[in-house]
Structure 1
């Protein structure tokens, strides 16, 4: 494939066809020439990498009929029509039917090259999205649960499957939002205890005076308001796996009791004297290295940390971002009965240049918001995560120049629409923009004229 892309050129006039092909090849395109529409159709299939440039008036199948048949074979293929002066109305109607653009003869070669370049880039992105979705749809097992292609995520999947077969306790390290509970769930589901309960508990979310009862249970009357016996998480998880998230927040006095339970495989409910045998695997998760935490018992660490897993933050596996985003985007559209949205080159650049301080949890949130609101642009969503002026310098630097410029451009257009109460002609004059350019930018940034008009 050439640097600029592949063009399927259809024109029944040999001299025009050869001259156009020569100019396009000098401009960096790969060109395949056809004198008849029927011959060009043989090259068109759903994953055809090219775009279609066709004359409108030809013997046999004309350019409009060729476009319609091309859309049946490759619905997203860009089609650019070459028209004579008298065909402009026909070409305009064809654009309403899905044509990417039309160029009136005689055309300016540089203008044709620029439009073809944009169409080829659109086709490249469309195919990338199609292949991405196709690959996601065919994935199964742990590949479909821990999504990504980076070496880091591939290594993590292998480590999980290896540890899942063992009975050792495991500590999972990772920043907030990296998916520690999902990793713990995979350790359980692909291990010997998969038919038994997986019981998660967030140690940092339970008040200190209640966490002992949550873990070990209590008898009726053990304390005020304990009106009946309650089975704790340890007892309930027996035979399966207990997941202790944010274990670094566990109070010191409870760490001692947890250590005894792990060493002796017995617990006692609050208010009871009889020991209860438990058989479970403990998977713990922490945001900090427990070795360096002075508030965490060293003997408990050695009991828990027989094996360790480290989940990299999203910023360290940025090549996984499009895969994750498309997955959650598709799921968000399906769950909310919305048409799936596609990602532009601008979108992909923004996704892979953003720092993702909230990791996968933040990405999922933005993907779903983007899926359910067709008025909003992805750049705008990313810029809303934190006002630009209040971002730390390091965070601002994580955004590419193109994204920062787009934020400013969207702000200027929004302010102009507000000032002129949605009057498009006044906004065009104020910003010195042609109507088509303004419409494209408003669509990109999710700006609707009706939102700024007086009711």
Structure 2
């Protein structure tokens, strides 16, 4: 039964170019009878000029024609966005066919042609072209919905490559490891991989391993008998994002490895196992190889999660993108606060470019928001917004932030006092070596900066 409410696909369009009027009529009759919308021309130059107007799904062109030949037309159309070209000739031979295909022809047909074969070739060519166009449109639409533009906006080679890698890897179910400093947008990239992948309707479960209490880590991750389901169970048929995976305790890493490999795990206190079908995305603000050497990440876990590795560059390494990013964030927050975006002066830009941006794109975004808020009151500049950020970092706003700042200072001083000898630093602090390693990861502390 035909569903009258479902729109049918538009008829395929073909542009036929042949200087022989009889051949044009014959091809038009054959293709029209097969349901094609046919446009014919006797000269290749005329067909090329009319191409945008016809907007064909495939071009069928004779090889030998007065003026521009079919091969010359092919060279003009040998671009990814152009329709495929099928060449046809009564003078065809093997060398000509090889040349045509090498120069980008979809196929080559000799006259007199076999109707069914010709129809099959142009049908496949048109289907391939439409599928590629549909995929391109879908990717563009999904990329705009994924949040990539907020974090991966820019034109540097690293960012263009990263955007394409995210789009390509989204279609895979293989584990992805994101490596980048705090504030580079690892969670948003992970969410984009989920939204663009095969499980967009499933759950996206994001866990920052550094924020989980050590004594509850296993229960939070795997769940418990007659208790919470756990993050792995919640991620069933979706994606599990483990941020700062190097903070995961070693005893849990071994159990996590089994869950990654088999999809099964044992909730705490349960007599029987549970299962979960999830796609794993991990992230680390440390170089994973270094984390393995220092005992923060098991080597077998590392080799299981690093099927694909995406590196997010810090903002200081792509300052060419900073003006575009800052303008984007000013526009975004101006719309939120319903004011005109403030102008960015030369002094503003000089201050922005001189900063080293330890908080990366996240920090830049906060500066832009403060700039807009100040502009709403009729004052403010980028330099003042940055100064406000520095003052806030000197005086933590919450008790947790204050404790973290104190611990960071104490751990850093111990590392410096003992010249990087971690066992000695841990002993001086009155904690174990593993606890020290876990604190270094949780606090985002780069010990090399203290040496």
State the partner residue of 1:323.
324
Q: Deviations over 1:312-350 (max 9, x none)?
A: 000011111122212222222222233321212222222
Residue 376 of structure 1, CA deviation: 1.7
Residues 404-443 of structure 1 correspond to what in structure 2 (within 5 A)? none
Contact kept, 8 Å, 1:338 with 1:372, in 2: the verdict is no
Residue 382 of structure 1, CA deviation: 2.4
State the partner residue of 1:117.
none
Count of residues in correspondence between the two structures: 242
RMSD: 1.8
Greater CA drift, 288-297 or 231-240: 288-297
State the partner residue of 2:257.
259
State the partner residue of 1:364.
365
State the partner residue of 1:217.
223
Residue 141 of structure 1, CA deviation: 5.3
Contact kept, 8 Å, 2:171 with 2:198, in 1: the verdict is yes
Determine whether 1:199 maps to 2:200.
Answer: no
State the partner residue of 1:333.
334
State the partner residue of 1:234.
232
State the partner residue of 1:417.
none
Partners of 1:284 and 1:169 in 2: CA distance: 8
Of 280, 283, 289, the match for 1:285: 283
Residues 15-414 of structure 1 correspond to what in structure 2 (within 5 A)? 140=144, 144-145=149-150, 146-220=152-226, 229-293=227-291, 294-295=294-295, 296-374=297-375, 375-386=379-390
Partners of 2:177 and 2:266 in 1: CA distance: 24
Residue 355 of structure 1, CA deviation: 1.2
> What SS class does the counterpart of residue 282 from structure 1 fall into?
strand
State the partner residue of 2:24.
none
Greater CA drift, 320-329 or 376-385: 376-385
> What SS class does the counterpart of residue 256 from structure 2 fall into?
helix
Q: Please identify runs of 4+ aligned residues in structure 1 that moved more than 6 A.
A: none
Residue 277 of structure 1, CA deviation: 1.8
Contact kept, 8 Å, 1:163 with 1:187, in 2: the verdict is yes
Structure 1: 5+ residue runs without aligned partners? 1-138, 221-228, 391-455
Partners of 1:270 and 1:335 in 2: CA distance: 45
Partners of 2:189 and 2:217 in 1: CA distance: 23
Residue 213 of structure 1, CA deviation: 1.4
Partners of 1:241 and 1:147 in 2: CA distance: 24
Partners of 2:315 and 2:165 in 1: CA distance: 18
Partners of 1:270 and 1:326 in 2: CA distance: 50
Partners of 2:384 and 2:155 in 1: CA distance: 27
Partners of 1:212 and 1:171 in 2: CA distance: 22
Q: Deviations over 1:159-197 (max 9, x none)?
A: 111111111101100001111101111111111111211
Contact kept, 8 Å, 2:170 with 2:197, in 1: the verdict is yes
Contact kept, 8 Å, 2:368 with 2:385, in 1: the verdict is no
Residue 385 of structure 1, CA deviation: 3.9
Structure 2: 5+ residue runs without aligned partners? 1-142, 395-451
Using a 3 Å threshold, how does the CA distance of structure 1 residues 319 and 141 change in structure 2: closer, same or farther? farther
> What SS class does the counterpart of residue 140 from structure 1 fall into?
helix
Partners of 2:199 and 2:243 in 1: CA distance: 19
Contact kept, 8 Å, 1:164 with 1:190, in 2: the verdict is yes
Greater CA drift, 326-335 or 168-177: 326-335
Partners of 1:320 and 1:381 in 2: CA distance: 19
Contact kept, 8 Å, 2:205 with 2:240, in 1: the verdict is yes
Residue 157 of structure 1, CA deviation: 0.4
Residue 361 of structure 1, CA deviation: 1.1
Residue 271 of structure 1, CA deviation: 1.6
Partners of 1:140 and 1:353 in 2: CA distance: 31
Q: Deviations over 1:35-70 (max 9, x none)?
A: xxxxxxxxxxxxxxxxxxxxxxxxxxxxxxxxxxxx
